Structure 1
Amino acid sequence: MSVGAAVAIYFIIWWLCLFVVLPFGVRSQVEAGTVIPGSDRGAPVRHRMLKNALWTTLVSAVVFGVFYANFVGGYLTLDDIPFLPRSPQD
């Protein structure tokens, strides 16, 4: 795997992990009991984006490490997935 491909795959994994991590620990204005007039009642009280970015980086590094270990070691390949249509040569 080239460095460019590894960076691209890590970037994709990072964005996917960001959407997984974003809702953790979010409290809406209604839950906190402090609704600011003119804002949405479901808006978060604090965004905590730096903390979310750090957690996302940690989680995505672990996921990428598992992906890379599988890529190098070949533990799980497309041939191991059941119900995958086989080519006519098989």
Structure 2
Amino acid sequence: MRWTSLLAIYILFWAFSVFLVLPWGVRTSAEMGAEHVPGTAESSPHSFSLKRVLVRTTIVATLLFGLFVANYEFGWVTAGMLDFADPANAI
């Protein structure tokens, strides 16, 4: 696989991982014991650390991308294995 394809796939993994990582460790103002700021949603986070989200996202995306590349190289799961409409793959 070309390096440009790998880069594009990694960027996709990273972008999807952001949505996976965002809810981790979120604490609302009520959970932190702070006053609710008028005009904000009660479920909004009390504080937000962009650096923490970026590091967590990079770690998760790298792990998932590593699994993807290993599967590509070793063929653990192929497209044929996922074709459940094929009678040859019936359990």
TM-score scaled by structure 1?
0.83
Count of matched residue pairs: 86
Q: Which amino acid aligns with 2:38?
A: P
Task: Indicate yes or no: 2:39 matched with 1:38.
Answer: yes
Structure 1: give runs of 5+ residues left out of the alignment: none
Among all aligned residue pairs of Structure 1 and Structure 2, give the percentage whose two residues are the same amino acid.
33
Q: Which amino acid aligns with 1:81?
A: L
Aligned CA RMSD, in angstroms, stands at 1.7
Task: Indicate yes or no: 2:15 matched with 1:15.
Answer: yes
Q: Which consecutive aligned stretches of 4+ in structure 1 deviate over 6 angstroms post-superposition?
A: none
TM-score scaled by structure 2?
0.83
Q: Alpha-carbon deviation of 1:85?
A: 4.5
Distance 1:65 1:84, change over 3 A: farther
Distance in 1 separating the partners of 2:51 and 2:15 = 14
Task: Indicate yes or no: 2:67 matched with 1:66.
Answer: yes
Distance 1:75 1:58, change over 3 A: same
Secondary structure of the structure 2 residue equivalent to 1:13:
helix
Q: Deviations over 1:9-38 (max 9, x none)?
A: 111111111111110110112222321233
